[in-house]
Amino acid sequence: MLNFVYWPISAVLWFWHQIFGWLFGPDSGISWILAIMFLTFTIRVLLIKPTVNQLRSGRRMQEMQPKMQAIREKYKNDKEKQALETQKLYKEAKMNPMASCVAPLVQMPVFFGLFHVLRSFNRTGTGQGQLGLSVEQNRNTPNYIFDVQDVQSFLDATVFGVPISAYMSMPSDMMDAFTTDFQRWQVVAVAFPLIIIIALFTHFNARLSLNRQKQRREAGKTVAPTGDNAELMEMQTNMMNKMMLWFLPATIFLTGFLWHIGLLFYMFANNIWTFVQNVLVFRKMDKEEAEEEEAKLALKRTSAPTVGARKVDKRTKKQRKKDN
């Protein structure tokens, strides 16, 4: 049913493996790891514009909070009118509230699609979604765009002596599909540090965004919610912030035993990209905001009357005589 996701992901992964396989050898673990990481970068490059739009949309939403709060208070007994006025406000600001959803909605199927493609290199298990193939059948069955030779290359490729599609909770019978002789503790030794790094960067990325929001509020560029629902809205915001800071990293940490080594490298690359991108984009947005403020001040200075300037009386001689 999700072939429209699996085939393109496997195609991009295949493309990068061809390039890095030519550089480092097709059976090299580094070739497969770099192919997975550059699959991540390919997706993130395509999402740069939607991500920037998402961040700008979030900034405008914060700036519009006072007006939106005023609409909620004015039409609190008329939900239809409230929705119409809110939509009108979005239109005047030339903002699409759905812009903030594009990047996350694209990344989710990519993540689960890559999980499925990597898992499908080893179909010897008998659990949910597994085919229960024998070791020999598995090594001679293509995997989406990857032919038999690619499947065998992936199964034989290792990083720090551990197969790329191994994971900490992998059943013992699935471990037999690899020609590499390894122990479960070796998988843990490779996977666990990656999980720690991914969880930490997830926390750092959330803290980077929240610190910027805090700085903007302290600078008076955003305001706290007011009105009857202010306390509830503040509570919901604090809860979401705590989820971003602690719940998501904790979830990654607690579910890390399920993730393949290859998928952990995807998550690692994705988090590093997010951190660097946010630092650069926030810097760019702060510069744009400073330029906008300077333009507003310059406009005020040019439109303000000059101190000591003589006022021109535009009345006619007859009007002046009448007024006097």
CA distance 138 to 63: 56
Alpha carbon distances (Å) from 83 to 145, 223, 232: 47, 22, 20
Residue 307 has what pLDDT? 56
Task: Give the pLDDT confidence of 199-215 residue by residue, as tens digits.
Answer: 999 999 888 888 877 77
Contact 275, 283 (CB under 8 A): no
CA distance 178 to 165: 10
pLDDT band of 153, cuts 50, 70, 90? very high
Two tokens at 206?
């959330």
The gap from C-alpha 131 to its chain's centroid, in whole angstroms, comes to 33
Residue 147 is classified by DSSP as -
Closest CA to 242 of 290, 207, 275: 207
Residue 283 has what pLDDT? 86
Please state whether the predicted TM-score (pTM) of the whole model is above 0.85: no
Is the pLDDT reported for residue 226 higher than 90?
no
SS3 170: coil
Is the pLDDT reported for residue 21 higher than 70?
yes
Phi, psi at 224, each rounded to 5°? -70, 150
Residue 110 has what pLDDT? 83
Contact 118, 263 (CB under 8 A): yes
Alpha carbon distances (Å) from 10 to 17, 47, 154, 270, 290: 10, 19, 13, 18, 44
Is the pLDDT reported for residue 315 higher than 80?
no
Task: Give the pLDDT confidence of 265-288 residue by residue, as tens digits.
Answer: 999 999 999 999 888 888 888 887
Residue 118 has what pLDDT? 87
Two tokens at 268?
């690692």
